[in-house]
Amino acid sequence: MSAWIIFFSLFVKPLAQSTPQFFAPLPFFSITIYIAFKFSQNPREILETKIFNSKVVLFFALLTLSEITLLIWNYSKFGSDSQDSGIVGSFARFLSPIVTFILVYFLLYFSIKSDFDIKRFINGSMISLSLMAAFVLIPQLTIIVGKNWFLGWANFLDRTVIPRWDISSNYVRGSYVATLHRANGLEIEPAFMAGQLAVVFLPWILSSIKHNFSFVKNNFKSFPYESYFLLLIVIVTLIFAKTTTGLLAIFLVDLILVFDLNGYIQKFFIIMTGIGLISIVVSYFTISLVHNFLNNYLFAKAGFSALDRTGGSIGLLLTFLHYPLLGVGNGYIGHYLVRYVPRNTKLNVEYLWRFSHNYPILSDLGGFLAQYGLLFFLPIVRKIRELFYNFDNKIGQDQLSVFVKDAAKYTLIMYGTLSLFDFNWLTYYSLISIFVFVRFVQYRMDEKKLNVSFD
């Protein structure tokens, strides 16, 4: 199962727009059936095993108690209107990522118990990316550059396995990519796809390049040609996603290649970065296509969306500063955003028609801080520090553990930085990409304790 985990998690299309995120049919049913099967094999052993740390259970218990209290308080304060989901709907939205977390945790607990399993997981992830590139990304890229060889196939995928917004104008030509000429992969929009590629796949690719690990040959002494090829496909896709999130991911990739690698590979990427920067600067001032692209998606973003994103980020920050300890809870955040968003960012049609009735969270990290406060954010930071401490001090420092540790570091860089914006950071593939490192350290520590007990 470990080889198929990421593949199943990529298909995030729900049964309906109102369906909770964790209920995406393919990952939900495949994961629950697998967990039920493993549980049925030896229920007593599982019940007797301490799967969840008591501190983690306490964290979620206190978080749930805080959410219930804040829901009641917000309801007494605002009642219920289009800016919220009501008490029941808000609590369901709160529970959705927790249910996802529990399912992911059990999935990884059952499927990854040894180095053999983690290698199958890594190879399975790269195979999933290869299949995604062949059947989804490359067809979308050909459409964007004006070749309609795969138009029918792309439209078929968009209708069947790719989620859609309730905005018919985005699909006039049959699919998102054909209509807007922006790559969106298997996600609902380009920014979400950029987050998916950056968090799920890029860390393993970058770590394999650093450590000369070949996914094909499954060893550390072969030049990873496939990693460079996959990196090229991902970078090109992120460019043609035409989104700030994608360009930021490319920037992070370059920083890692320049500052975290070593030897001749590092020198090669330093030279390539210098050439690339000079080319971009010259092209920006001489080629109108490059000039307009960088202005539209990086330097001088304009329009209602950019204005609302800026206003929403400021609103989240001010909400957090007013309620820094516990936040304002899930579900009623829209009421606070309307209050704290700067007035000059409200003077646009998108705000008047949409956001004034239901203001969404446009920054994942800002939304978490505004909703749950420092008391529930700082324990997560502490757990991350504990994870890397365990990587360095509680498990053996062999090639595989160092390789996985670097992938964990790159995942945290991608996840933390991109969470300043909005992507599917609490869906199955995102949580799997985080907790697989927790599981790796867990079974390695268990093996070490077992070996000590035999000595």
Q: Whole-angstrom distance between the N-terminal and C-terminal Cα of the chain?
A: 33
Mark residue 19 as left, alpha or beta (left: phi above 0; alpha: psi -120 to 50; beta: remaining).
beta
Q: Note the pLDDT of residue 438.
A: 95
Break the chain down into helix, strand, coil percent, rounded to 5: 75, 0, 25
For every residue of 35-67, DSSP letters joined together read: HHHHHHH-HHHHHHS--S-HHHHHHHHHHHHHH
Q: Look at residue 78 in the predicted model and tell me its pLDDT.
A: 83
CA distances from 91 to 228, 311, 421 (A): 44, 26, 24
- In the chain, % of residues over pLDDT 90: 62
pLDDT of 455 reads 45
pTM: 0.93
Instruction: Give the chain's residues under pLDDT 50.
Output: 453-455
Largest CA distance in the chain: 71
User: How confident is the model at residue 453, as a pLDDT?
Assistant: 47
Buried b (16+ CB within 10 A) or exposed e, 320-351: beebeebbbbbbbbbbbbbebbeeebbebeeb
pLDDT given at position 451: 57
Identify the CA nearest to 210 among candidates 231, 238, 194: 231
